Structure 1
Amino acid sequence: MFSKKRITAVAAIAAGTALVLSGCSGGGGATDAEPTFDPDEKVTLDFSFWGNDVRADLYNQVIAAFNEEYPNIKVNVSFLGFPEFWEKRQTEAAGGGLPDVMQFDYSYLRQYSENGLLLDLDPYLGNIIETDPLPQNILDIGVVGDVTTAIPTSTNAWGIYTNPVLLEKAGVAEFEGGSWEDYTEWMGEVTDAAAGEFWGGTDYTGRIQNLEIQLRAEGSYLFSEDGEPGFDEERLTEFWESGQVIRDGIGVPQQLLEERLPLSAFDTAIAASEPTWDNFGAGYLGNLGEGFTELGLIAPPITEEGAKDLYLKPSMLHTISAKTDHPEASAALVNFLINSPESGEIFGTNRGLPASETALEAAELDPLSQQIKDYESSIADRLGAAPPVPIVGSGTLEEKFRQLGMELNFGTITVDEAVSQFFNEMDIVLNG
C-alpha cells in the first residue's frame, strides 16, 4: 500500500437497459503529466455503494482505517439496494452529479464509460493506484475502448455447484468431468436414482453463459467489442436442441421451478447440480439451511480439449466520476479499498474473492472461500482473456434468453420459434 510519503514523493434499472445519460468532458485533472497528490490537503469525497447493513459496517471500518493514514480526506458514505442504487446513479448522471467514488457493476460499465461519465484511470495506475498486486488480466477487465475506467475489487468464474447430501442419497458419485453430453447423462443417472424426490439438475441451455463458454471453446464469442454476435441461428438452434433430452424428464420440471421462486432448484434441494458463478456458494448454503454444510464445486464440461473457454469476471469494480474535483484523493481511496491489507482483512470475501494479491493474503478465508480460491486455481489452464466489457443491452438479452429457456421447458414454444424471437430481440437491442 502506498504511504503518504510515497505518494507525495511520486509527486437502467435492469442490467443492460439503455440509459439516457448526459455525456461530459474528461474533467478531473487527468493529464499527460504524472498526477501528484498532496495528502495534507483537506478534501471531502462522496462514496456510494450497494449492499446491506453488514456491508455498510465493513465499509465504515475500512474508511476508518483509511482515515488513520489520510486524516485530511473526509469520506461521506452512502448505500442503497441494488435497483435503487442504479436508479439514483441514472438521475445523477443526467444531472452531472455522480459521487466521486462508486462501487460499480460490470453490466453498466460500458454505458457510463462511453458516455464520458467515468474518469480515465490510466494516469493513476502504477503510482497512486498500485498495479503490482493486480494481474494484468484483472486490470484489463476494467478497460473500455482502450481506456481504464474501473478497477475490479474481486473476481469469480463459471463452475458447477453440486450437493453432496443429495448425491449420497441417490448413491451416485460426483460428476468426474467430460463433455456436455457426459454431464447430461450424469444428471439423468441422478434423476433416475432419486425417483422423483429430486433431479440431477436443470436445463442448462436456459443460461446464456453455458452457450458462451461453448462458443469460446470453438474459437468464437458471445458478442464482440462492436456488439456483433459470434453465433448464427443454426448454432443457437443446435444449442437449444441439445437441451431437449433434459427437458424431456432429466431436468427439474418448470412448474416446480416456478413454485420455488425467487429461490432456485439448487437453493431448495430439488436439484443436485447447478452451473453458475462460483461466488454464489455462500448464498446456496444459507438458503439450503440445516443439514447442508458443504458443497461440491467442479469445472464445467469440456467442449474442446485445451480450449481457453473460461475466464475471470469481476464480482464488482470501483470507479471515479469524470467530474470529481479531487481525482488524486479519489484514486488514493480506490487504491485503499482494493489493495490495502486492511481491506482484505476487514472485507474477507464479502465482495467476492479479492482480486488484489495484497488484500487476498490478508483475508481470512472460511472453508467455502478457500474452496472457491482452490477452484479458480484448478481451472487456470482453461482461463482465457475476459470477453469485452458487456455490450449496452446485454442484461436485456440475457433476460430474454432466460425467458425463452423457461418457455422451452414449459413446452409452450418450439426451438425454431425461440431462435426467431431471440434474433428479433437482438436486432432491436443491437441496431435499434
Structure 2
Amino acid sequence: MINRRNFLTTIALGTASAAVLSACGQSGTTAGKTGSAENPVTINYTWWGNDDRAERTRKAIALFESKNPDIKVNGNFTDFAGYWQKRATEAAGGGLPDVMQWDLSYLRDYGQRNQLLDLSTVNINTDAFDKSLLPSGQIRGKTFGIPTSTNAFAVYYDPAKLAAAGVAEPDGSWTYKEFHEFMTEVGTKSNGAFYGGGDYTAVWWMFNIWLRQNNMEAFTEDGKLGFSKDDLKKWWSQPAELRGTPAMIPEERVTQLLPKSAFGSNATASEVTWDNFMAGYLADSGAQELKLVPVPSDDPDNLGLFLKPSMLMVASAKTEYKDAAARFIDFMVNDPEVGQIFKTSRGVPASKTQRDGTTFEGTDKLVVDYEKSIEKYLKDAPEPPIVGFGTLEASFKRIASDMNYGKLDINGAVDAWFKEAEDIIKQNA
C-alpha cells in the first residue's frame, strides 16, 4: 500500500534517499535505435482524452521535438473506452505503441504479461517524486509505469446552476442522506432545466471509497474479493429513491449525451468523479466556474479518500527505441514547461520539479487547493489492482447501467457482476 498522506507537503528529497531509476543504468538492455537531427527516429505515442487534452498534448509534443531534434513523436488519441479496445488488439498482435498514457487499472494486466518495458532499465530521473508514490507503478520489483500526476475523488458542482435553482452551495460536510437531499432539491427546483446529478453508485472507484469508509477493502492480499454480495446490494440500493426523479438523470439520457458526460453537457448540476476533470468539464460545458467538495460519508472522520496516480507513462517492451521512449517519458513527467501546458488537466503534477515550475491560478488552483484540503483524510492508496481489473471496472458500470435501464433487478445485477468477477479471478489465479 502506498502512504500518500504527506505527498503535497513533501520537501525536496536528498540525493542519498531519492529513488532514481537511472541508478540502474541500462544494464541488461540496449538503448535501441538512435537518430540524429538530420535523420530523427519516430516514436508512436497514444493517449485518451477529449479535444482539450489533445491540444495540450500536441503542444507538449511540439516542445519536446524542439528540444530533441533527433526524435519525432507521432501522436494519436481516442476516448477512454475505445483506448483499451485498441490496446488489447495491438497487444494480441504484438504491436503496442512505443509510449503510452496508462491507467493504474490495467498496469498489472499488461505488466505481468511482459508487454511493458521495465523502466528501471532506462534513464528516467525520479529524484523529484515522492518516494511513496513510485510503488504505484511497480509490480514484483519492476517499474512499469511512472505517474504523471495525482488525483482524488470529489463532488463537482456548477455554482451558477445552484444559484439559478435557489439552492445553497454545499461545503462537503455531508452524509449520503444529506447528499441525496441536495440532489433532490437541485433537481426539483431547476424546473426541468437540469437534474441534480447522476448515479454515482455506477462508478467503481466511488464504491471503493464507500468500502473504505466502512473499513473494507475491495480485494484481499491473495487477490480475492474483500466484500460480499450483500455489501454490493446495499451500495447499489443506496440511491434507489432518487431513480426516476428529477434528482438523478436517467440512463437513457446519459447514453444520448455520449461522448460527453451529463455534467459536461449541462444536463446535471453535479458529478462525482476525479478532481482532474476540471479542464475538460469547463471546455465541454462552457461554464464560467466549477467548484468541488469532498464526497459524502456517514463517518465524518473517515471519508475513504486517497490520492491515486491519475495516469502513468509506460513504454512497450518491444519498442525499438528505448532511449527515445525514456527521454520522452522523462520530459513529459519532469519538464516544468510541460507542467505549465497541462496545469491540472492531468491531475496535480507528481514531480516536484514540474509542480514547483507550474503556476496554478483560477480553476487549476482550485484543484490543488482541494487536494490540500483533504490531506488529513487521505488513506493509503491501492497498489496496481488485480489482473483483469479493467474488465471488472467496465462491467461494474455496464451492469449498473443495465439495472438503471430496468434490464436487471438489483439481485440479478449483483449476481451478474459477482459471476463475472469470480470467473476473472479464477482465470488469473
Question: TM-score, normalization: structure 2?
Answer: 0.80
Number of the residue aligned with 1:278: 275
Asked if residue 288 in structure 1 is aligned to residue 289 in structure 2, the reply is no
Number of the residue aligned with 2:413: 418
For residues 128-173 of structure 1, what are the alpha-carbon distances to aligned partners after superposition, in whole Å with 9 as ceiling and x for unaligned?
Answer: 4332321123212211234221101122211110111111122111
Asked if residue 54 in structure 1 is aligned to residue 62 in structure 2, the reply is no
Any conservation in 2 of the 1:207–1:402 contact (CA below 8 Å)? Answer: yes
Question: TM-score, normalization: structure 1?
Answer: 0.80
Number of the residue aligned with 1:113: 111
Distance in 2, Cα, partners of 1:90 & 1:253: 31
Quote the offset at 1:425 in angstroms: 1.8
Distance in 1, Cα, partners of 2:87 & 2:44: 12
Question: Aligned runs of 1:309-324 on 2, under 5 Å?
Answer: 309-324=304-319
Structure 1 counterpart SS, 2:133 = helix
Q: Does 298-307 or 73-82 show the bigger shift?
A: 73-82
Structure 2 counterpart SS, 1:137 = coil
Structure 2 counterpart SS, 1:159 = strand
Any conservation in 2 of the 1:190–1:200 contact (CA below 8 Å)? Answer: yes
Match of 2:331 among 310, 322, 336: 336
C-alpha RMSD of the superposition: 3.2
Q: Does 219-228 or 206-215 show the bigger shift?
A: 219-228
Asked if residue 230 in structure 1 is aligned to residue 226 in structure 2, the reply is yes
Asked if residue 251 in structure 1 is aligned to residue 251 in structure 2, the reply is no
Number of the residue aligned with 2:348: 353
Structure 2 counterpart SS, 1:293 = coil
For residues 19-56 of structure 1, what are the alpha-carbon distances to aligned partners after superposition, in whole Å with 9 as ceiling and x for unaligned?
Answer: xxxxxxxxx9545xxx999xx99694624223666245
Q: Does 332-341 or 99-108 show the bigger shift?
A: 99-108
1:288 alignment partner AA: S
Any conservation in 2 of the 1:318–1:334 contact (CA below 8 Å)? Answer: yes
1:74 alignment partner AA: I
Distance in 2, Cα, partners of 1:98 & 1:255: 35
Structure 1 counterpart SS, 2:136 = helix
Change (3 A) 1:36 1:49: closer
Q: What are the ranges of 5 or more consecutive residues in structure 1 without an aligned counterpart?
A: 1-9, 12-27
Structure 2 counterpart SS, 1:136 = coil
Change (3 A) 1:346 1:244: closer
Question: Aligned runs of 1:114-193 on 2, under 5 Å?
Answer: 114-122=112-120, 128-176=123-171, 177-193=173-189
Any conservation in 2 of the 1:143–1:150 contact (CA below 8 Å)? Answer: yes
Give the paired residue count: 394
Change (3 A) 1:130 1:306: farther
Change (3 A) 1:55 1:167: closer
Change (3 A) 1:318 1:30: farther
Distance in 1, Cα, partners of 2:364 & 2:302: 26
Distance in 2, Cα, partners of 1:362 & 1:336: 13
Match of 1:103 among 71, 88, 101: 101
Quote the offset at 1:387 in angstroms: 1.2
Any conservation in 1 of the 2:65–2:71 contact (CA below 8 Å)? Answer: no
Structure 2 counterpart SS, 1:422 = helix
Structure 1 counterpart SS, 2:169 = coil
2:284 alignment partner AA: N
Q: Does 83-92 or 155-164 show the bigger shift?
A: 83-92
Distance in 1, Cα, partners of 2:254 & 2:94: 43
Quote the offset at 1:183 in angstroms: 0.9
Distance in 2, Cα, partners of 1:84 & 1:247: 28
Quote the offset at 1:376 in angstroms: 1.2
Q: Percent identity?
A: 38
Quote the offset at 1:75 in angstroms: 4.1
Asked if residue 265 in structure 1 is aligned to residue 262 in structure 2, the reply is yes
Structure 2 counterpart SS, 1:48 = strand
For residues 47-98 of structure 1, what are the alpha-carbon distances to aligned partners after superposition, in whole Å with 9 as ceiling and x for unaligned?
Answer: 422366624532333323542xxx6x53443434357765665565445554
Segments of 4+ in structure 1 off by > 6 A?
A: 40-43
Distance in 2, Cα, partners of 1:354 & 1:79: 22
Match of 1:241 among 234, 237, 240: 237
Structure 2 counterpart SS, 1:152 = strand
Q: What are the ranges of 5 or more consecutive residues in structure 2 without an aligned counterpart?
A: 1-21
1:316 alignment partner AA: M
Number of the residue aligned with 1:218: 214
Any conservation in 2 of the 1:179–1:302 contact (CA below 8 Å)? Answer: yes
Change (3 A) 1:307 1:260: same
Larger Rg: 1
Any conservation in 1 of the 2:275–2:347 contact (CA below 8 Å)? Answer: no
Quote the offset at 1:431 in angstroms: 2.1
Asked if residue 386 in structure 1 is aligned to residue 381 in structure 2, the reply is yes
Distance in 2, Cα, partners of 1:190 & 1:346: 35
Any conservation in 2 of the 1:134–1:357 contact (CA below 8 Å)? Answer: yes
Any conservation in 1 of the 2:278–2:345 contact (CA below 8 Å)? Answer: no
Quote the offset at 1:388 in angstroms: 2.5
Change (3 A) 1:96 1:270: closer
Structure 2 counterpart SS, 1:219 = coil
Quote the offset at 1:298 in angstroms: 0.6
2:103 alignment partner AA: D
Q: Does 134-143 or 258-267 show the bigger shift?
A: 258-267
Any conservation in 2 of the 1:154–1:351 contact (CA below 8 Å)? Answer: yes
Distance in 2, Cα, partners of 1:155 & 1:164: 25
Distance in 1, Cα, partners of 2:41 & 2:259: 40
Quote the offset at 1:237 in angstroms: 1.2
